[in-house]
Amino acid sequence: MLSARSIFQEIVDSDDTYQLFCSIAASGETQGGWENARIAALLPKSMHHLAAKITRHGADEDKHGRIFNALLRKRGLDPVPVPPETHYTMLLEKRGIGLAHDKLRRDEPLTEEDIVVYLAHSRVTEQRAADQMVMLVKYFGDHPEVGRAVTMISADENSHLAYCHEELLRLAAAGHGRRIQQVLRESSLNEIAVYRDVSLAVMGHMGRLLHWPKAKSAALEAGIHGTYAYERLAGWRHMVSLAMPERRGALDGPPTPAPAV
């Protein structure tokens, strides 16, 4: 019987698929770390109060990249090139989600509008990350090889999501509410399409490495398309609502050290 647990178990059990999975994850997290570091460095003066939190966010993402690379080393594996069609963050940028890299490479201050857009984009993508990590913790939180890593990353993603909610609500109260809602809706609809495409590409690569029969691959593809259809119809609303988190100041203070893996 097909289930998320059984599919991920197959991926973790095979060196080839585990290597690709960790390489994709490490690459995306490392890119996120760079992006947040650049945004923190280019903040407009009116938003310098966010510098420490955005820096912390970037440090967490860098840490996650190191964790996934450490998981590879622990099994005696090296990172492998990430197929372009599986590069979630790169494909998001092509869809206009996230601040363009050419802008981040310049030494020119960002605008308040840029930061509003950045935080709205982050609210959407951090929701995806938090939901995925909750699933991995559910299935692998007690796994001897990856359990500590996924548990820590899940806690960090929850903190990132809380920070996005809190800062966006403050910006909405300061008069940016209409723009925030516009960007949230546009970003969520683009993100679910990218997530569908990346999921299909990743499962395609995994299926070839694991020699899945055509019927199994077809069933997984149908499930991915079904998830997209639901998210396109109604699930996107989960990504655009804003509520003050129970835990305020989730990114105050230094990053949590990475666990030994």
pLDDT for residue 169? 98
Predicted local confidence at residue 37, as pLDDT: 96
Q: Is the pLDDT score of 235 beyond 70?
A: yes
**2 has a pLDDT exceeding 80:** no
Indicate if the pLDDT at residue 108 is higher than 80: yes
User: For 116-129, how does the pLDDT look when each residue is reduced to its tens digit (9 = 90+)?
Assistant: 999 999 999 999 99
What is the DSSP track for 42-101?
T--GGGGGGHHHHHHHHHHHHHHHHHHHHHHHHTT----PPPGGG-HHHHHHHTT-S--H
Q: CATH assignment of 4-239, given 1.10.287.110, 3.40.50.80, 3.40.50.620, 1.20.1260.10?
A: 1.20.1260.10
What span, in angstroms and rounded, lies between the C-alpha atoms of 47 and 20? 38
User: Any idea where the domains of the chain sit in the sequence?
Assistant: 4-239
Q: What is the pLDDT of residue 98?
A: 84
Say what the pLDDT of residue 1 is: 59
pLDDT over 80 (residue 261): no
For 44-90, write each residue's pLDDT tens digit.
999 999 999 999 999 999 999 999 999 999 999 999 999 999 999 99
How much is the pLDDT for 62? 96
SS3 166: helix
Cα gap 19→168, rounded to integer Å: 37
Per-residue pLDDT band for 260 (boundaries 50, 70, 90) equals low
Q: What is the mean pLDDT of residues 6-22?
A: 96
Query: What pLDDT does 253 receive?
Result: 80
Mean pLDDT of 230-246: 94
CA distance 166 to 180: 13
**What count of other Cβ atoms lies within 10 Å of the Cβ of residue 47?**
19
Across the chain, what does the average pLDDT equal? 95
Quote the CA–CA distance of 208 and 139 in Å, as a whole number: 24
Count of other CB atoms within 10 angstroms of residue 85: 14
For residue 213, give Cα distances in angstroms to 4, 201, 219.
17, 16, 10
pLDDT in tens, 126-184: 999 999 999 999 999 999 999 999 999 999 999 999 999 999 999 999 999 999 999 99
Task: Report pLDDT for 156.
Answer: 97
Q: What angle is formed at CA 160 by the lines to CA 136 and CA 234, rounded to 5 degrees?
A: 70
Residue 209: CB partners within 8 Å, gap ≥ 6? 14, 16, 17, 20
Percent of the chain with pLDDT over 70: 98
pLDDT score of 96 more than 90: no
